[in-house]
A and B are shown apart, each in its own frame.
Chain A
């Protein structure tokens, strides 16, 4: 019995009862389609979260005050609340970290801001000229803070688009206008482009001023809340990270890295953390879908067992005319394999259509990956073999005499 014969026998056996074969296949189709659709939704969500983290800046390392994880102190004042980083630390990093392309220290706090009869409460970020490059901020109109502004303590401000809308109205040009922050007048010199409100808070609701001004006139100290460092390349990240740690440990006179009073966060770490969350989400969705795949497999086994019983006499005849056990078991295995194979193929198309529909209608980004297709197809093939094996073996083991007598 060669492959072509096996194929023809299988096709004719399955087409004898089209309704039953179709319904059995439906179980697998639904299973595979939901696995593909769920994984695509999960991976799409992961992709969009990753890209929103990437939008903060590329090759970014964040240095923040606070306590490193796992230190045995009883009371923590909270991450980032400690004032352990100073302008001098930032300057030292600027000088000593060789793999850094740009360094932007910042100090942020919320203040009440007024302008011509309107007012709002927003985040005031004091920073330097490197900030746009390091944090992927683009200027829409006007210009960003310059090095000169920082040196000369210029009271100038760059508005985020949301803040501009709140203070001056949508679509207006506030350049040259003045605003009051904490009773100090600032001149508006630019507006940044919108970054969208996804990910870490609304990055559009902000006012940038020179860091020196923020420290001297608003905060009253030279503390720094975050130092953003952009490494020259992805490969330098680890090296830059350890350089930063070493410089700061030395400056803060701390011998044991575990006792560090600052933390260095790698952007990749943030992405990894977010990804692990979405991964769990994806696995959860996929395993719910996987259950339906198993149910579909059981449907196949059920049909195959019924078929074997119904066709007992046929099996007896085939054995009488010379079919070996192997011939018989291959025949039934091929039938269940073909059911899952066809079901898998249709399921992949259906799953792809579902994920396409979800991204079109519900606006959730989806991504059908090759991996999920291979996975679903592999699983369906395995299900076909596993759930077809037992019925096939039962058929092959039938005694031809008893099978021929079966009523």
Chain B
């Protein structure tokens, strides 16, 4: 009986581990400039499960960007641990962090950050080049990602600076998707878009979350944008003040417009 009990516990742990994509414990980030210390994150803890669509919301200066950098393996916390896919990311070197970003994370930025004077396809294939994927596979995967991001195929060979803002952001989403990341991090993805185009982009995220079971973290300061997610983590002055399921979820109907 004792043996069976132990087995059960192990199974439970495994199940838990399988389901948890992100596990943050007491994350503290302190920036020092000279003698002055700024504690941007004051011990943040939360879990995000596989397939969740979470919004991290807070006013500017709340520490949400810093948190995003840590979640995106662009930076490491001063203290605390961050497990991504059961791997401790909080104490890695620069090149190890680069490998985590390459294999597990897809970024969508407010300002798109596409390569100008490069075609849409080339922009989407860029992460695959660093991941060492063969040329043939690259194009297949890029096309798959562009379709998933709802990018019309007559634009694939356009240069990225010939596109509208909404189209550019969809290319950026396709680029984030292309390597099948564990996590898509979107930093104010609608910040540079008008509200209608913004809704289309948010609809794309919802669709990816529903249909492809992508784990998405959306960082925003607008409640309206955050309400498109399943769960909202409110952050203020470096602390989580509220972590709740979003009950008034806004659903965008026509994803591919």
Contacts and interface: CB of A to CB of B under 8 A. Distances in A.
Contacts of A319: 98, 101
Contacts of B118: 12
A370 interface: no
A321 B132 contact: no
A2 B98 CA distance: 17
Contacts of A9: 129
Contacts of A325: 94-95, 98
Contacts of B109: 317, 404
Nearest to B127: A321
Contacts of B98: 319, 322-325
Nearest to A407: B111
Given A1-B129, A1-B132, A404-B113, A320 B95 contact: no
B52 interface: no
B126 A318 contact: yes
A9, A325, A326, A404: most-surrounded residue (chain B CB, <10 A): A404
A323 B130 contact: yes
User: Size class of A's contact patch?
Assistant: 20 to 34
Interface in B84-132: 94-95, 98-99, 101-103, 106-107, 109, 111, 113, 115, 117-118, 126-127, 129-132
B23 interface: no
A5 interface: yes
Contacts of A322: 98-99, 101-103, 127, 130-131
A265 interface: no
A326 B95 CA distance: 9
A133 B101 CA distance: 84
B132 A400 contact: no
Contacts of A327: 130
B130 A401 contact: no
Given A1-B129, A1-B132, A12-B118, A317 B75 contact: no
Contacts of B126: 318, 321
Contacts of A321: 101-102, 106-107, 126-127, 130, 175
Interface string A383-406: 000000000000000001100100
Nearest to A4: B135
Given A325-B94, A325-B95, A320 B117 contact: no
A326 B107 CA distance: 21
A404 B69 CA distance: 11
Interface in B62-85: 69, 72, 74-75
A80 B113 CA distance: 84
Contacts of B117: 12, 16
A401 B109 CA distance: 12
A321 to B, nearest CB: 4
Interface residues of B, number: 27
Contact of A400 (B74, B95, B129, B131): B74
B66 to A, nearest CB: 9
A1 B113 contact: no
A314 interface: yes
A65 B91 CA distance: 87
A401 B187 CA distance: 12
Given A322-B130, A400-B74, A317 B113 contact: yes
A317, A319, A321: most-surrounded residue (chain B CB, <10 A): A321
B72 A320 contact: yes
Contact of A313 (B113, B129, B175): B113
Contacts of B127: 321-322
A9 B103 CA distance: 21
A322 to B, nearest CB: 2
B34 to A, nearest CB: 18
Contacts of A318: 126, 130
A325 B98 CA distance: 9
A159 B113 CA distance: 89
A13 to B, nearest CB: 9
A400 B127 CA distance: 15
Nearest to A2: B132
A344 interface: no
A324 B95 CA distance: 6
A12 B75 CA distance: 30
B75 A1 contact: no
Nearest to B115: A314
A17 B84 CA distance: 41
Contacts of B75: 401
Interface of B: 69, 72, 74-75, 94-95, 98-99, 101-103, 106-107, 109, 111, 113, 115, 117-118, 126-127, 129-132, 135, 175
17 contacts: A1-B132, A4-B135, A9-B129, A320-B72, A320-B107, A321-B101, A321-B106, A321-B107, A321-B126, A321-B130, A322-B98, A322-B101, A322-B131, A323-B98, A324-B99, A400-B74, A404-B113
Closest 3 CB pairs of A and B: A322-B102, A321-B127, A317-B113
Given A5-B129, A320-B74, A321-B127, 6 more contacts: A1-B130, A12-B117, A322-B130, A325-B94, A401-B74, A404-B113
